[in-house]
Structure 1
C-alpha cells in the first residue's frame, strides 16, 4: 500500500527507501502512464536530480510507464527547469522530474507535468486514486535517451547580453546546477568561481537551499572576502535562486522580484507583476512607482504559473526564490535563466545594493513556522479570518493577511506540512512588534 501522505499539494514526496520502494515506484509509473494515456498522450520525458536513490527510481518508473504503453524519453541528470524546457523543445507536453528539491538526502519524489504545466491539487489526488485502485492501462512502451543540455545552454545564453565584465561566485550546493552553470559562464563575460560544484546526493557541505541563511553562509563569506559583483546560490534541482549583493547582504526574493520588474516594465509598460502573499509592501510600492500593476496571489509554484497564463503576466516571483519569466521565455521557474537575467541587469553598471535600495524599506520578520496538525492549521486560519474581518480589511486569497497603512501581518496554512506560517512587516521596529503582538495574542487565545 502506498503511503497516501506522499501526495502533496504541488508534487509527490517521501522517504526514498520506505515510501518509494521499487514496487511502489513501479505502481506510480503504471498510474502516471495510465493517466497520460487517458489524456491522449503516450510520450513522456523523464529527468532526475542528483539524489542517490534517483537512478533506481528512474528504472522502476520507466518500467511502470512502459508497461502502461508509454514511450519514455530519458534526459538523464538535469535541473528541473531543463525538464520543463525539454517539454517545449521537443513539443511533448508530458514529463516527470524525479526530485525532492532541497529536502534532506533520504527524500525523493516526483513533479508531474501535463500539457507543459505542472499538475497540482485535485489532479494529483486523481492520480493517487488511479494508483490505489490499480486502474491501469497495459501496453508495451520503449525508452530513448537524449541529451538536451547543449540545446538548453544555447537557448538561454542567446537570450541575454551582458555589457561588461562581471565577477560572480556561485554556490550550487552539490546539486544539479554546478556543471550547467559552468558551461553557461564559459560563454559569458564573467569571471566566476563555483562553490560545491560537483553533484553529490549526500549533500556533504550543506543542504542546497539558498533561502536559509545557514546554507548560504559559505557563499556570503566568499562574497565578503573577494571583490565580486554578487553571489548566487541554487537549490538542489535548480528552480529556486538565492542572491547576495556585493557587500555580502542577502537580497530576498521579493526585493529581487522588484529588481527584475524594473527591467521588464521598461519593455512592457503597465504589465501585471504577480507575487505571493508573503511579499513586502515595498515590492507593491516599487511596482506601482515603475508604472506596473502589482497582483498578489497564492503561494505555490504551480498556482503562480497558472495565474501568469490567466493574467498574461510577463513576470512573477515568490519569497522562496521561485522566479518566473514569460518575457522572452516560457513562464516556468528557472533559477539558471533568472541568474542570467540578473547578470544582464548588473551589466548596465549599477551595483546590486543600489538596485535593492530603490525598493521602499520595511522592517520584517523571517517566515515564522508553528507546528500544528493538518486539521488544526485550517481551523485556526478560519477563526482568524472570522475574528479579524469585523475590524480590519482582510485579504484572504491565501490564509489571512491584514494590510495597514504602515505594515501588515499574515497567517496561512502551509500547503505541504502541518505548519502555520506567519510573517510580519512594518515601517518601524516598534510597529512591527505591535502587529506581531496583535496576531500572537489572538493565537494564544485559540
Structure 2
C-alpha cells in the first residue's frame, strides 16, 4: 500500500473534496482520503465513522477504496450504503457509537464528477480541515491499524425522523395537499418513495429510480430547465405545488401550482415566517446571493437577518456559532435547527414546506404571489481558470475599496447602489465565477449588469 499521496490540488475545495473521475479523482485518492481522515478521527479520540454514497456510477468504486483506507488507518466503519447525503448526516447525528461520517457524492455536478462530504463530531469539516487532509497525505502522516466494517440500514429510521416535521400540524389540511415530487434519478428516490407512502396527502412521483446516467434530466433544481417535467406534472394533475432535489438530496427546488419557481431565498422567507411565529426574534442566516427582500422580510417579521458566506459547511458553522434556528442558501440548501439537527436536508425541507403552508393557513401559490416582484438575474455562471478565479475577485475588491462603493466583501463582492445590488464571487465547487443582480426596475437591472461587466473587463474577463 502507498505510504503517502499527493492530491490534484483543484479537488481540495473549501467545503468538500470534488473532482472528475478518471482525470483528477480516482480510487487512489479515495484510499488516501480514508487514511488521512482515519488519522484525524483517531487523534481526536474517535474510533468509528459512518460511510454512505450516492447513485453515481463511480460511487461504489470510490466507497470501496475509501473504506479500505479508513480501516487501514485503524478506524471501524459503519457502511449504510446508497442514500442521500442527509441520510448520512442523520446517521452520524443519531448513532451514539460513531464519531464522524463521509458521504461519497457528486451532488449537483456533471455525472462524471464525484467527491466527498465530511462531518466530524457533529460539526462540519471544511476549509483548513480539508487542506489538512491534503498535507497529511503528502507527508504520509498516517496512523496505521486494522479497523473493522459492518453494515447497518438506516433508511427506515431516517424516514421516520423526517415525518416528525409534520407532527402537531392539523391533519385535515395536510390530507388535502396534492404534491409532485421529482427525485431526478438521484439518491433521494428510495427515501422519497418510502416517505410519501407515509405522509398525509396525495403524492405524485417522478424519476425515483436511481440511475447515475440521469436519463431524464440533470439533478440540479436551481436550473429551471431541469424543472420542466415537474412543471408539466403539476399542470397536468392540478397539484398544489411540486418539489425537486439535486443528486444527493441536500438541496430542494420548488414550484407553485402555476409552475412558477420558488427560489431558495423565497423558500427561506416562507420558512422564516413559520419559524419566527414560534421563535420570535430568532436569527435567520442567508448567503450573500439572497435577495434583499429576504433580509427585509426577516426584519419585518421581527427576526434577526444575518448575511453570510455561500457554502453548506460555512452556513452550518455560522448557525452553530450564532444559535440560529434557520438558515438557507439561494442554491436550495435549507438548514433547520429548531426541531431538527441543523444540517441541510432537501427531503426534510419538503416536509416542512407542507407544514408551513398549513400552519400559515395560506397556499404556497398565494405566499409566492404576496412577495415583492423584482427584476433579477438568475445565478450567472461563466468559466474561469482555477488559478485565476480568486485572484480576479481580489482585484475587484481592491478597486472598489478605493472608491465610495457600498460593498460587502464577506464572500466575493456584493455592492449596493440606488438601483439595487450586484454580486460577483468565485465558486468553491467549480472553475467558474458567479454573478447575480437585483433591482426594482428593469433599467436598474441593466445598469447593475453593466457594472459587473465593467469590473470583469478591468480584470481582462468577460461573461461568456
TM-score (norm. length: structure 1): 0.96
1:181 equivalent in alignment to 2:192? yes
> What does residue range 106-117 of structure 1 map to in structure 2 within 5 Å?
106-117=112-123
- In structure 2, what is the equivalent of residue 271 of structure 1? 282
Q: How far did residue 439 of structure 1 move?
A: 2.5
Gaps of 5+ in 2: 1-5, 460-464
TM-aligned CA distance change 1:341 to 1:392, over 3 Å: same
Structure 1 CA distance, aligned partners of 2:13 and 2:277? 38
Structure 1 CA distance, aligned partners of 2:390 and 2:17? 21
- In structure 1, what is the equivalent of residue 63 of structure 2? 58
Partner of 2:394, secondary structure, is helix
Structure 1 CA distance, aligned partners of 2:300 and 2:244? 29
TM-aligned CA distance change 1:152 to 1:441, over 3 Å: same
Deviations 1:367-417 (A, max 9, x none): 122322334333332332233342222111111111235511111122223
Structure 2 CA distance, aligned partners of 1:428 and 1:289? 22
Gaps of 5+ in 1: none
1:231 equivalent in alignment to 2:242? yes
Structure 2 CA distance, aligned partners of 1:236 and 1:135? 34
Partner of 2:166, secondary structure, is coil
Structure 1 CA distance, aligned partners of 2:23 and 2:448? 43
- In structure 2, what is the equivalent of residue 148 of structure 1? 154
- In structure 2, what is the equivalent of residue 353 of structure 1? 365
> What does residue range 12-411 of structure 1 map to in structure 2 within 5 Å?
12-91=17-96, 92-161=98-167, 162-163=169-170, 164=173, 165-348=176-359, 349-389=361-401, 390-411=403-424
1:438 equivalent in alignment to 2:444? no
Q: How far did residue 340 of structure 1 move?
A: 0.3
Partner of 1:330, secondary structure, is coil
CA contact (8 A) 1:42 1:71 kept: yes
Structure 1 stretch displaced more, 420-429 or 23-32:
23-32
CA contact (8 A) 2:34 2:67 kept: yes
TM-aligned CA distance change 1:382 to 1:68, over 3 Å: closer
Structure 2 CA distance, aligned partners of 1:3 and 1:97? 20
Deviations 1:6-49 (A, max 9, x none): 11111111223344433332232222212211222110100111
Deviations 1:253-304 (A, max 9, x none): 0011000000000011111110011110111111111111111011111000
Q: How far did residue 190 of structure 1 move?
A: 1.6
C-alpha RMSD of the superposition: 1.6
CA contact (8 A) 2:419 2:445 kept: no
TM-score (norm. length: structure 2): 0.93
Structure 1 stretch displaced more, 99-108 or 18-27:
18-27
Structure 1 CA distance, aligned partners of 2:7 and 2:432? 23
Structure 2 CA distance, aligned partners of 1:2 and 1:285? 44
Partner of 1:10, secondary structure, is coil
Structure 2 CA distance, aligned partners of 1:139 and 1:150? 33
Aligned length: 446
TM-aligned CA distance change 1:51 to 1:375, over 3 Å: closer
CA contact (8 A) 2:219 2:226 kept: yes
Deviations 1:181-213 (A, max 9, x none): 121122222211111111111111111111111
Structure 1 CA distance, aligned partners of 2:275 and 2:23? 46
Structure 1 stretch displaced more, 16-25 or 211-220:
16-25
Q: How far did residue 74 of structure 1 move?
A: 0.7
